[in-house]
């Protein structure tokens, strides 16, 4: 059993109403790997960094159970860098700087012993790179989850649609679901998107929770009302990591179990936003995670008997 | 046992992306009374209309169990009228016309046999009018629920704060909670507002559900993802009506029972938005309501055992 995670390992510089960071460690695969590691330990990473990336963070990933044989370290090159500034509501942001660096020429190489993962998490990346990973697998994974974003809908829609036809679960946010489907109603949007390939769709609504759809059913997971949200960066990736990590742990990909997985994903996202970057995802205890999940249970649990 | 409802009975003209109405029947107390009537029958109304108001709708209210002895009908005057246009997202709207008419001089008179209600729902109105109703009661109700809006925060904050000190449960939307408290975080906003008088606060988030707070606990009720929302007018009032109607029916004002009440309120709101005006709230069966509530149960129900 294994979980293959593909995505960026990178630097971010973040400004929110609560403060500002210098270059700190980020990237979709960093958040996904850390969040998943609280549920599942055989995590295999495929990604790329430059020689400027700190070994200390790579050691952290390794100590959390994330294997790095598929991480290319490009000598003489720089890691991907993104800088952004969140608006006061923390729901919208401006990109201040994007330096592709090693990502510009990233050609993913899946190590031989990573080629038959049971679970595959394709973090947000160019759809063509996501396809290149799929092409190298020698057996179809039990579950393929893909995260993407509006940027690829604007620039590579054909490639994105092709990728969508190859996966099982898609995670996108509400405005992306509207853009991808051309439907304002999320119920209608979901049905259109489910006809594009994915059997299951997760619509992330940030502080407003997340919706899980298949063709017949819908489930809603709330977000935890938090006193302070310091930095939303990585919330969606942590959500995806908790989601697939829980599924890999339980080896159960039924819709019922995905409901549970989405709660665990939401719990991991709720940790991430409490501090800048990946800080809050490092060194959590099993009790921390269980207590947080219990808060979700308490938040929505009610007892109505309809007779 | 009785439930006293105070609020407007009025005309609206509504434009949404899905269509446009002429003058139709609306008003906070109309929605509250209709929604509450599916749970509780001894509903007493205090309100005012002009002689232009249709008897047919008053008959509908009566047939649903809403008593009209406290409804003033002003001969030679016109009913309150509001016209508004919703934007494409249905979350924001512009007021196109407001004609106060009978509301300009409304002096609420609580009939003698309405003066000791067990439950009191003060629908959105000028805070001074809400106080005038409270002053006429000869016994404090078991529960006083108040709905208000940003307009009174802008124009009558002192009177509103005085009214808030006299009630038990406040229902407002998220932006109003932020305005009233000066806090962006809804968790912080809730704690500030709970120090102003109310023991319980309901924050309505429209399509994103509702939060229920007391000083120690928080509960979240989702909104039902709907294929089409035709007209959000009256959703908040229907929510309040279902909420207090269920509490009056069960005679239980514990936080646990308020969780159930908020689900029933959300169910009534989900009906209201499916058609223009009050149309969808007329002639529902008990089965319709129970089926709808079951959809809420299915939407958020999950089973996690943390051992």
| Alpha helices, H only, chain B | 28-36, 55-63, 127-136, 150-155, 157-164, 174-181, 186-194, 235-250, 255-272, 286-300
Tokens representing B194 are: 């709970």
pLDDT of residue B227: 87
Q: Return the residue of A nearest to B191 by Cα.
A: A227
User: Quick check: A185 contacting B, CB < 8 Å?
Assistant: yes
Question: Which residues in chain A have Cβ-Cβ distances shorter than 8 Å to B259?
Answer: 302
- Give the CA distances from residue B96 to residues B13, B85, B155, in Å, rounded to whole numbers and listed in that order: 9, 7, 19
Per-residue pLDDT of chain B (307 residues; tens, 9 = 90+): 899 999 999 999 999 988 899 999 999 999 999 999 999 999 999 999 999 999 999 999 999 999 999 999 999 999 999 999 998 878 789 999 999 999 999 999 999 999 999 999 999 999 999 999 999 999 999 999 999 999 999 999 999 999 999 999 999 999 999 999 999 999 999 999 999 999 999 999 999 999 999 999 999 999 999 988 889 999 999 999 999 999 999 999 999 999 999 999 999 999 999 999 999 999 999 999 999 999 999 999 998 876 5
* Nearest-CA distance A290 → chain B (Å): 7
Decide which of 2.60.120.260, 3.40.1190.20, 3.40.50.720, 3.20.20.70 is the CATH code for A3-300. 3.40.1190.20
pLDDT of residue B306: 67
C-beta neighbour count of B54 within 10 angstroms: 14
Domain coordinates in residue numbering, chain B = 3-300
Q: Do A222 and B220 touch (CB under 8 A)?
A: yes
Question: Which residues in chain A have Cβ-Cβ distances shorter than 8 Å to B221?
Answer: 300, 302
CB pairs under 8 A between A and B: 88
Nearest to B188 among A222, A227, A300 (CB): A227
B91-125: per-residue pLDDT in tens? 789 999 999 999 999 999 999 999 999 999 999 99
pLDDT-wise least confident of A83-92, A212-221, B206-215, B245-254:
A83-92
Q: Return the residue of A nearest to B185 by Cα.
A: A227
* Nearest-CA distance A54 → chain B (Å): 35
Tokens representing B250 are: 């069960």
Percent of chain A whose pLDDT exceeds 90: 93
- Relative to beta strand B93-99, strand B81-86 is antiparallel
Q: Do B222 and A300 touch (CB under 8 A)?
A: yes
Identify the CA nearest to B8 among candidates B264, B288, B271, B234: B234
Nearest to A220 among B187, B300, B306 (CB): B300
Q: What is the DSSP string of B113-180?
A: GGSS-SEEEE-S--HHHHHHHHHH-SS--SEEEEE--HHHHHH-HHHHHHHHTT-SEEEEEHHHHHHH
Q: What is the ipTM of this complex?
A: 0.89
User: Quick check: A92 contacting B, CB < 8 Å?
Assistant: no
pLDDT of residue B44: 98
| Model confidence at A245: pLDDT above 70 | yes
């Amino acid at each position: 059993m294994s979980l293959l995670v593909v995505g960026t390992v990178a630097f971010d510089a973040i400004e929110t109403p609560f403060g500002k960071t210098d270059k700190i460690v980020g990237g979709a695969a960093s958040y996904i790997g850390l969040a998943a590691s609280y549920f599942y330990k055989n995590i295999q990473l495929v990604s790329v960094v430059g020689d400027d990336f700190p070994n200390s963070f790579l050691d952290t990933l390794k100590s959390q159970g994330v294997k790095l044989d598929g991480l290319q370290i490009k000598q003489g090159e720089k890691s991907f860098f993104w800088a952004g500034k969140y608006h006061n509501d923390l729901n919208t942001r401006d990109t201040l700087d994007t330096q592709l660096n090693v990502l510009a020429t990233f050609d993913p190489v899946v190590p031989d012993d990573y080629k038959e993962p049971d679970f595959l998490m394709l973090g947000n990346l160019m759809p063509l790179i996501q396809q290149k990973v799929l092409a190298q697998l020698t057996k179809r994974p039990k579950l393929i989850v893909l995260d993407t974003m509006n940027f690829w809908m604007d620039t590579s829609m054909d490639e994105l649609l092709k990728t969508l036809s190859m996966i099982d679960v898609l995670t996108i946010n509400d405005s992306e679901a509207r853009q991808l489907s051309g439907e304002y109603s999320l119920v209608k949007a979901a049905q259109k998107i489910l006809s594009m390939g994915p059997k299951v769709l997760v619509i992330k609504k940030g502080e407003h929770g997340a919706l899980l759809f298949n063709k017949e059913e819908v489930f809603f997971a709330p977000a935890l009302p938090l006193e302070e949200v310091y930095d939303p960066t990585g919330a969606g990736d942590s959500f995806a990591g908790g989601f697939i990590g829980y599924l890999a742990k339980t080896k159960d990909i039924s819709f019922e179990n995905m409901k549970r997985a989405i709660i665990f994903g939401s719990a991991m996202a709720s940790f991430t936003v409490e501090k800048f970057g990946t800080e809050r995802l490092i060194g959590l205890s099993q009790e921390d995670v269980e207590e947080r999940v219990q808060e979700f249970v308490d938040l929505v649990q009610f007892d109505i008997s309809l007779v």
